[in-house]
Amino acid sequence: MAHVLIAEARFYDHLNDLLIAGARRAIEAAGHTHELVTVPGALELPPAIARASEAGRFDAYVALGVVIRGETYHFEIVAGESARGLMALALDGVAVGNGILTVENEEQALVRADPAAKDKGGEAAVAALTLMTVAERFAA
């Protein structure tokens, strides 16, 4: 049984609740346990997961959050840098699923976050668990 960290950037409560529900359902359906940690925004997810990874208590990580395009360039920075940070962790061997939604509007986010629709939280959890399994396969 694996122990998974769900790290959420808590900005849009109702959307995050949907993402978390999907991730929890996928992790529990696979027979694993999980904990939740909350950070202020998507840029804080990679460093939070990096610190948790260093502690060695978790087997996989799920990054969840929502970034909605606004009127400024901030969207591109947050979306790109959070994805880059998670990819750097993955390339260093951390089993992390990226469930950070980067969307144009709340309607798109709702469809993607809803476990009964696109279930991106669940998909991110499955991705993390798959990467964990791949790592185990090629270990030793």
Query: How would residue 39 be classed by pLDDT, with cut points 50, 70 and 90?
Result: very high
Answer whether 121's CB lies under 8 Å from 109's CB.
no
Q: How many CB atoms lie within 10 A of CB 14?
A: 11
Report phi then psi at 3, rounded to 5.
-115, 120
- Domains with residue ranges and CATH for the chain: 3-124 (3.40.50.960)
Name the nearest CA neighbour of 27 among 52, 59, 56, 4: 4
Give ∠ CA 132-133-138 in degrees, rounded to 5: 100
On whether 67 is known to bind a ligand per the annotation, the reply is yes
On whether 66 is known to bind a ligand per the annotation, the reply is yes
On whether 38 is known to bind a ligand per the annotation, the reply is no
Task: Catalytic residue, from 3, 14, 32, 74: name it.
Answer: 74
On whether 42 is known to bind a ligand per the annotation, the reply is yes
Q: Write the pLDDT tens digit of every residue in 76-121.
A: 999 999 999 999 999 999 999 999 999 999 999 999 999 999 999 9
For residue 116, the 8-state DSSP code is: T
Active site residue 74: yes
